[in-house]
Amino acid sequence: MTSFTTDQVQAIRRSRERVAKLHGELTRYGLVVWTGGNVSERVPGTQHFVIKPSGVDYDDLTPDNMILCDLDGTVVPGSAGSENNPSSDTAAHAYVYRAMPHVGGVVHTHSTYATAWAARNEPIPCHITGMADEFGGEIPVGPFAVIGDDSIGRGIVATLEGHRSRAVLMANHGVFTIGKDARDAVKAAVMCEDVAKTTHIARQGGALVDIPEGKIDALFDRYQNVYGQKPQGGIA
Amino acid sequence: MTSFTTDQVQAIRRSRERVAKLHGELTRYGLVVWTGGNVSERVPGTQHFVIKPSGVDYDDLTPDNMILCDLDGTVVPGSAGSENNPSSDTAAHAYVYRAMPHVGGVVHTHSTYATAWAARNEPIPCHITGMADEFGGEIPVGPFAVIGDDSIGRGIVATLEGHRSRAVLMANHGVFTIGKDARDAVKAAVMCEDVAKTTHIARQGGALVDIPEGKIDALFDRYQNVYGQKPQGGIA
Amino acid sequence: MTSFTTDQVQAIRRSRERVAKLHGELTRYGLVVWTGGNVSERVPGTQHFVIKPSGVDYDDLTPDNMILCDLDGTVVPGSAGSENNPSSDTAAHAYVYRAMPHVGGVVHTHSTYATAWAARNEPIPCHITGMADEFGGEIPVGPFAVIGDDSIGRGIVATLEGHRSRAVLMANHGVFTIGKDARDAVKAAVMCEDVAKTTHIARQGGALVDIPEGKIDALFDRYQNVYGQKPQGGIA
Amino acid sequence: MTSFTTDQVQAIRRSRERVAKLHGELTRYGLVVWTGGNVSERVPGTQHFVIKPSGVDYDDLTPDNMILCDLDGTVVPGSAGSENNPSSDTAAHAYVYRAMPHVGGVVHTHSTYATAWAARNEPIPCHITGMADEFGGEIPVGPFAVIGDDSIGRGIVATLEGHRSRAVLMANHGVFTIGKDARDAVKAAVMCEDVAKTTHIARQGGALVDIPEGKIDALFDRYQNVYGQKPQGGIA
């Protein structure tokens, strides 16, 4: 049986609260429909993460029905919410947490415009400065992979390792994002759909203009270091 | 005069509550405007179904103004809500319930992107895994048919019999979906519009990439058997 | 000074309440931004109509700040709300009420998709049955006209007289709709944008299929006579 | 240390309240995601302006966390909210207030359709009368410029000086708008996205029709002088 220290119990509670609440950002920005999409967070100071249950309405998500898993994706027996199954994407989240120790949050959606690029297996090119800020260049495409083994997790990691983007379009599927915590990964999911939509619409209207050489790097460097109320530094 | 057992009365009440509430999902996802669209549910343990009244505002739908019909689409005299007319699509719903005994719910909308494919009489091709999960392949087109006889109902049944899709695009008209109950049919309506939109946008941007051979079947089989908190099994 | 009977005073009050509330449908369906768009209603049993004030926030519209005008578009001195100016489109509404005695409501918006067709001076063709139901065929384009004289009102009337459509796209401008009362005109505005959007998206994806000959007439005739809880009969 | 008269203190309070509240219009109209976008207002009777803090959630904006800056963009030490950083676009706002004394409000967004035109470095042409009313012609494109020096501010001013438009598309970036006060600049941001969207969709469907010669000027002149409850006169 798994036992936790008092500090760990409190950290788990805080992650449950954050993860439950952050799912509201997915519906606010229209990134998900019905019970699709999921957010998880690595619980600081533990070898566990918290993730959404499978097939539960967004209106019914609470800290207590979030599901606590170890890094193999196994539900902690007897923990709150463990009477339900975790998200069917749990294995992919677990793979990412095992392979990328600096990642503290993972999000998956089938948001419309990102998935449209994914259906063409086409990376989103970087033609707007806000995308340079957030992703440091294009958003790449990962391999076609289906649920049932480690292939989705491996595809995410193989694509994002050594890449500045925190988002990957999985071929014919949807988008996975990573971040230093769940909120950062949710932000990446929101921004990914935003740039997927803007860039799609821009290109439908005619030829896109390139950002001048060197400026994408400059924008990314500045944004990762100075934006917001305190240095964020992305997940690098 | 129709008489019901106590169990049937309670089952009718629960269907009224579910059907009234599920209409809120149509507005939440923007699948309907004004008083368009309708949801019905076969009442378990009876030869009846419950459907939306005609021309009543979505804000005003309650369990008590849902309308109880027999499987010929005739309103049960004296039942709650029977002072109003049932949806003008009632005959189509009734036909489906008579012809497809495994169907427990039917939904009709003119949702924008699904209707756009219908205006071209073009099936929605399956290029995204979420669509393979939910529909097992393309969403087919049914014949052109107008209200006034059984032709809409016959068109729905003729198209969906022997098809894995729970959604059919009726030519130049809109979409009908079926499910094991009303909630399942509403889910199909929500997912149909979602994939209609994503696939439209994807194709506007360039050529779609095919899902590898055999994978659509594999995705559909898995999803129908293991997704969610308990086996769903679709309506098959 | 204008004097009204007790019945007229009550009818004016009811029109003020309906018109104020119906503006909420314009925002609900996203047909307007900022203070754009307007709804008016001919007050039954009077020679007057009620219309939105100019440049007032949608959040601040109430029955008491709706503006009462005679059929020349002149504000009734001393009436509630008369310290404000009426909508800058008041002259166009007044012209319609004078010229078309069967019209009881008028709506004007710059809703996105309808205005897009208007910017091309292109009628919206009828390829979906819901449009046949509601408009009986294409939605026509009226002449280019600017505020400052009767030209907008004349353009609306000249285009809609003898046409089954209750909506007209004014060239490079936006849409005006008419109805038997304000609610009916608002419905036409909602449905016009809905079909403008669906038909635009449908055509972007490829060639539209025609509705079989004779079926548009059949659909229109049925819908005008039997839909809803009681015969509506359009405004004819 | 900066000292203010009682009147100035009250004027600052009112600007804080207006600016905090006006950010709600950016989310209402979907012009921003996450913490992007910002509104500022020159405080009447002072050499200061109020602006949004950097990286704070829209839900958490209040009059007290708006940030008071002098016209060099330096935060007033010890003022409410000064524990946070001002928007990273503060230097651009400050530049505009210094260079354009008639400007009382500035807004910046990455709204989808405006940014799509910006990604092509293409001005939005004027084919709809509502755009002629509001902007008096096309919405121009400013130079590519990045945060870090005065280049964004200089680009805005160089483009808008001598132009009737209150909006400028900054190349590959987004939109800046100016107004006589913050509300007027927010209105310009809302209208800019509206016309960017309508004109994009219109052109996707075919060739746009020109507004007759001379009519754009006539529309702009009328709108700036007579619309609304009292003369507005734009910012001229």
* pLDDT of the residue at C143: 98
* pLDDT of the residue at A131: 98
CA distances from B151 to A27, B143, B154 (A): 38, 9, 5
> What token pair was written down for A147?
């649920």
Beta-carbon separation of C197 and B112 below 8 A: yes
**What was the ipTM of the complex prediction?**
0.95
pLDDT tens, position by position, for chain C (236 residues)?
A: 689 999 999 999 999 999 999 999 999 999 999 999 999 999 999 999 999 999 999 999 999 999 999 999 999 999 999 999 999 999 999 999 999 999 999 999 999 999 999 999 999 999 999 999 999 999 999 999 988 788 999 999 999 998 999 999 999 999 999 999 999 999 999 999 999 999 999 999 999 999 998 999 999 999 888 655 544 434 43
Which amino acid makes up residue D78?
A: G
Q: What span, in angstroms and rounded, lies between the C-alpha atoms of B20 and B30? A: 17
> What token pair was written down for B37?
């669209």
Say whether residue C205 is in contact with chain B using an 8 A CB cutoff. Answer: yes
* pLDDT of the residue at D119: 98
Beta-carbon separation of D209 and C110 below 8 A: no
Q: What span, in angstroms and rounded, lies between the C-alpha atoms of A55 and A34? A: 9
From the candidates C18, C25, C124, C129, which should be mutated to test the interface with B, based on the most B CB atoms within 10 A?
C129
From the candidates D22, D129, D215, which should be mutated to test the interface with C, based on the most C CB atoms within 10 A?
D129
Out of A218-232, B51-65, B185-199, which region has the weakest mean confidence (pLDDT)? Answer: A218-232
* Average pLDDT, integer, range A178-186: 98
Q: What span, in angstroms and rounded, lies between the C-alpha atoms of B68 and C98? A: 46
Say whether residue B9 is in contact with chain A using an 8 A CB cutoff. Answer: no
pLDDT at residue B235 greater than cutoff 50: no
* pLDDT of the residue at D226: 67
Beta-carbon separation of D172 and A218 below 8 A: no
Say whether residue D177 is in contact with chain C using an 8 A CB cutoff. Answer: no
3-state DSSP assignment of residue C83: coil
Q: Is A74 exposed, middle or buried (0-12, 13-18, 19+ CB in 10 A)?
A: middle
Mean of per-residue pLDDT scores for chain B: 94
* pLDDT of the residue at C234: 40
CA-based nearest residue in chain A for residue D54: A228
pLDDT at residue A228 greater than cutoff 80: no
Beta-carbon separation of B202 and A119 below 8 A: yes
> What token pair was written down for A157?
């990691």
CA distances from A140 to A156, A164, A208, B130, D187 (A): 10, 10, 18, 20, 37
Beta-carbon separation of D146 and A127 below 8 A: no
**DSSP letter assigned to residue D125:** P
Specify the length of chain C in residues. 236
**Residue range B9-23, pLDDT digits in tens:** 999 999 999 999 999
pLDDT at residue D232 greater than cutoff 50: no
pLDDT at residue B229 greater than cutoff 80: no
* pLDDT of the residue at D147: 82
* pLDDT of the residue at A226: 67
Beta-carbon separation of B218 and A146 below 8 A: yes
Beta-carbon separation of D33 and A190 below 8 A: yes
Beta strands in B14-66 (DSSP E): 38-42, 48-51
> What token pair was written down for D135?
């902007």
From the candidates D34, D85, D193, which should be mutated to test the interface with A, based on the most A CB atoms within 10 A?
D34
Give the residue, C230 or B135, on which the prediction is more confident.
B135
* pLDDT of the residue at C16: 98
Question: Residue A186, Cα to own-chain centre: how many angstroms?
Answer: 6
* pLDDT of the residue at D146: 87
**Residue A202: which of D53, D119, D147 has the nearest Cβ?**
D119
**Residue A194: which of D33, D113, D171 has the nearest Cβ?**
D33
- A with D: how many residue pairs have Cβ under 8 Å apart? 88
> What token pair was written down for B6?
């106590």
pTM of the entire structure? Answer: 0.96
Cβ neighbors of B228 (< 8 A, separation 6 or more) are A35, A54, A55, A85
CA distances from A50 to A82, A93, B41 (A): 11, 10, 37
3-state DSSP assignment of residue B172: coil
**Residue range B157-215, pLDDT digits in tens:** 999 998 999 999 999 999 999 999 999 999 999 999 999 999 999 999 999 999 998 99
* pLDDT of the residue at C236: 35
**Residue range A33-90, pLDDT digits in tens:** 999 999 999 999 999 999 999 999 999 999 999 999 999 999 999 999 999 999 999 9
Query: Is there a contact between B107 and B90 (Cβ–Cβ < 8 Å)?
Result: no
Q: Of C59, C160, C149, C33, whose CA–CA distance to C106 is shortest? A: C160
